[in-house]
Amino acid sequence: MDRKRLKDIQTADLSESNINEDFLHWMKTKGPSYVLIIMIVIAGYMFFVKYNQGKVAYRAEAWIAYIEASASGLPASHEDVAQTYADIDALYKLGLLSAADGYMRSVIIGKTIGSNANITSVLSNEDRIFYLQKADSLYALTVEDDDHSEEMTLLIITGLNGRASVAESNGDIDAARSFYEAVIARSQSQYPALAQQAQRRIDTLDVLAEAIVLPTDAEVTARNNQVLQRDPAPINTSIDALTDLTETGQ
């Protein structure tokens, strides 16, 4: 019994020794290759995670920059955002539109960019012309690469309406009409309400074409100096009755 047990133990030791030798042989011949593959997979996964984290951080940085530009109210800040973060979402077109809107806002209120409650500068005619040119060029950049996708519709419509506003400000009624017609063509199937709005604006363009004649300074001065003549005839019947009694001595 002891001899058989000893034989079994020797056989087991021999098998384990063979397994260890096979494992060592495998580790020496193929082990390094498998270890290298595992390390490459781990490194690739870590790079992928870090890359995604960087993209999220970069995207957040871009939108924060856009919000800061909106708070500043400076068109140049929006232009910088459009150029710097052109690869993030729709910030390129949003930046251009916001910059153009900033120039148009200054034209509407008649004040230069940067004016506030403490510092106000009246918009000169030269500044007005420059602002309108800048706004129109920025709106044009927004609509020049229209791919006619549904996702781009609102941005393109906004740009076309902006160009129409600039044309109206310059008194170019024909150009404004063509931009509104482009709005109708671009939005009719997807946003019919916006198409109807553009049509209403076309219908009222002729009113803008009518010249408004303002009085001259001389006419205003003469009007202000004019003395209204009082009508001597009384309009109160009671006064008429009192006048009659006085005249008759009653």
Q: Quote the distance between the C-alpha of residue 105 and its chain's center.
A: 14
- Whether 140 and 163 have beta carbons less than 8 Å apart is answered as yes
Measured CA distances, 248 to 46, 237, 238, 239, 245 (Å): 118, 17, 16, 15, 5
Residue 147 pLDDT: 85
Strand partners for 111:
122
Residue 6 pLDDT: 45
Question: Which residue, chain included where needed, has tokens 């003395």?
Answer: 227
CA 78/CA 70 separation, integer angstroms: 7
Torsion of CA 170, 175, 181, 185, to 10 degrees: -110
- Whether 166 and 136 have beta carbons less than 8 Å apart is answered as yes
Residue 155 pLDDT: 93
Tens digit of each residue's pLDDT, the chain (250 residues)? 455 554 454 454 545 555 556 655 555 666 566 566 666 766 676 766 666 666 788 889 998 999 999 888 899 999 999 999 998 988 999 999 999 999 999 999 989 888 776 777 888 999 999 999 999 999 999 998 888 888 899 999 999 999 999 999 998 999 999 999 999 999 988 999 999 999 999 998 887 766 566 677 777 777 777 655 555 555 555 555 555 545 555 5
Residue 121 pLDDT: 84
Residue 217 pLDDT: 72
CA 204/CA 193 separation, integer angstroms: 17
Domain boundaries, the chain: 167-225
- Whether 113 and 102 have beta carbons less than 8 Å apart is answered as yes
Report DSSP letters for 155-201, one per residue.
Answer: HHHHHHHHHHHHHHHTT-HHHHHHHHHHHHHHHTTT-HHHHHHHHHH
CA 153/CA 89 separation, integer angstroms: 15
Helix (H, G, I), strand (E, B) or coil at 181: helix
